Structure 1
């Protein structure tokens, strides 16, 4: 998968890929979860928008410092040499969303409440299953495909530039 044109090929592209996914995810997943918790209203949505920048920073840090290293260690356990691109992407998404949804079910509650409490632990299983489901489907159907499409277009443009030079 190293030369897969739907994935980043260097650190700069990796940052772009992460930015696309994280911005889409935080701006869709957080509002949906908050609206399901507190009810669907404009005022609740506007309240959610106030915490989105903080959640975005937390998500990016958790992805880079926790999820990526753990998923990188776990992938070889589950992936075979003959597994294709889609199988690897699905497993990667499943592992990332599982790790991040566990952490963000707790941390996101603290950020939303603007205080550290035991509440996210007391309601963890009820909240986590819902949060995982929302995050998994948004990642699988919206955020990841858009980011992979952007990488494919970027690599196609780079390929056309190389051909034009030759």
Structure 2
């Protein structure tokens, strides 16, 4: 079954690179890839005495690992970018469909570092308010944090006060 979101397919180098990057990323993260890499290093180490631990022998492993590392950086980065976008889209959907969530957080990954710091400071304040309540389910929205906090505090005080009133 194909996704209705796939209205246009990538073609050319970009599509081939994405396909290869996905396969290489999956393979490189497998236990077999680790075993193969370990076996190659072990084989290289065992051959040391045969080559008298020469400069060329050392250059083989240094050059090989440098090339593999250099290429893997780009492959892994491509995979991370794709995963990051997918995750952000999922979070955006959750925010968009939740009435209590602030839509200001949709596409928050595209704002400046200064704006991110401002939002972080806001959530630090919310966490402080929630800690004062000592209640797991206390929550606040971005736009109404102080008001909701005060309403919850007043409600909790009224609830406690009503429990202490004894009927005569």
Common topology (TM > 0.5): no
Larger relative contact order, structure 1 or 2 (CA cutoff 8 Å, min sep 6): 1
Structure number with larger C-alpha Rg:
2
Q: Larger % of helix: which?
A: 1
